[in-house]
Structure 1
Amino acid sequence: MAQSRAARLAPVVDMAERAEREAALQLGHHQGLVGQAEGKLGELERFRGDYQQQWINEGQRGVSGEWLINYQRFLSQLEVAIGQQRRTLAWHRGNLEKARAQWQQQYARLEGLRKLVQRYRDEARIAEDKREQKLLDELAQRLPPRY
């Protein structure tokens, strides 16, 4: 009877395995998006650093007012882009944490089901061992005594 309980749970375990795999794929997808967003932010920050270094180099030689205005305007736009990219990164990190929590939940459910199935199998094995032992004991009692 316990073995049939384990067999009846097989479709539930299969569904839990599919849900865990899907959650793992989503987790990987969101990890990739975070990586991309971090890469873009890094590029923007490096570009800003390079651009600021250009200001230092040009400033030593002297610059026109027009060049300075264009520099400040572009640097301002770059700061806006960096701010937007930071918000995008934070949003992707939030989604990653949600995906991680979902995967952990699916994984814990799957592991719980696997343990339950194993317990049912163990119970079935123990019950079968007891039946066999009882049968052997009965057979041993029927045998004539040996002298």
Structure 2
Amino acid sequence: MKVKNPMAMLRDMAEEKLTETTRALGSVQQSLQQAVKQHEQLKGYEQEYQRSLRQGMMGKGMSVADLVNHQAFIVSLNQVVKQHENHVNSCEHAVSKTKANWMHDKRKLNAFETLIVRRESAQALVESRQEQKLMDEFAQRAGQKRERL
């Protein structure tokens, strides 16, 4: 069994880490999308209830109890919207942080791959020079043999 190059092992580890970070990024982005969607729905509900309150007051009118209940519900809904806005902000922060981690892991993987390519190129150059040296020696010996004959 061939012993794996330490640089290749590090590259593989970096690739696994990048895969994990990519999954995490997808997960937090999905959470953000859901949070934004829920936030938009909550804002829509709030606007709908405010519109309903205005229509009720302008139409037939409302009893004081209905008015107070409607306003209290709208205030509660407004608080929920603000709380959910904080949740959206933390999801955005998580996406930013995970994206930064992903970029770091990607740069790390690229660095290992670049080092491996450079090492392989240097090794190929050394082998090419050795092969050229052998060919030159062979040509020199062949020339010497011809001279002797």
Tell me, yes or no, whether TM beats 0.5. yes
Percentage of pairs with the same residue: 27
Cα-to-partner distance string for 1:33-63 (whole Å, 9 max, x where unaligned): 1111101100001111111121222112211
Q: Report the Cα distance in structure 2 between the residues aligned to 1:52 and 1:73, rounded to whole angstroms.
A: 11
**Residues 60-99 of structure 1 correspond to what in structure 2 (within 5 A)?**
60-61=58-59, 62-99=61-98
Report which structure shows greater RCO (CA 8 Å, sep ≥6): 1
Query: Partners in 1 of 2:47 and 2:17 — Cα distance?
Result: 45
Unaligned runs of 5+ in 1: 1-5
Hey, what does 1:27 align to over in structure 2? Answer: 25
Map of 1:38 onto structure 2: 36
TM-score (norm 2): 0.90
Alignment of 1:47-58 (within 5 A): 47-58=45-56
Q: Which TM-score applies when normalising by structure 1?
A: 0.91
Q: Which amino acid is the alignment partner of residue 67 of structure 1?
A: D
Mapped to 2, the partners of 1:95 and 1:8 lie a distance apart of: 33
Give 2:90's aligned amino acid: W
Q: Deviations over 1:65-91 (max 9, x none)?
A: 011100110000000000000001111
The structural deviation recorded for 1:8 is 2.5
SS of structure 2 residue aligned to 1:143: helix
Residue from 6, 9, 16 that aligns with 1:8:
6
SS of corresponding position for 2:5: helix
For residues 9-40 of structure 1, the C-alpha deviation after alignment (integer angstroms, 9 at most, x for no partner) is 11111111100110111111110111111011
Query: Match of 1:48, as an amino acid?
Result: E
Distance in 2 separating the partners of 1:56 and 1:72? 11
Which whole-Å CA distance do the structure 1 matches of 2:83 and 2:46 have between them? 14
Aligned to 1:17: 15
CA distance in 2, matches of 1:68, 1:57: 12
Alpha-carbon distance, 1:95 to partner? 1.1
Distance 1:30 1:59 in 2: 43
Distance in 2 of aligned mates of 1:134 and 1:8: 30
The structural deviation recorded for 1:142 is: 1.3
Aligned residue pairs: how many?
141
Moved more, 76-85 or 90-99: 90-99
**Segment of structure 1 superposing worse, 51-60 or 87-96:** 51-60
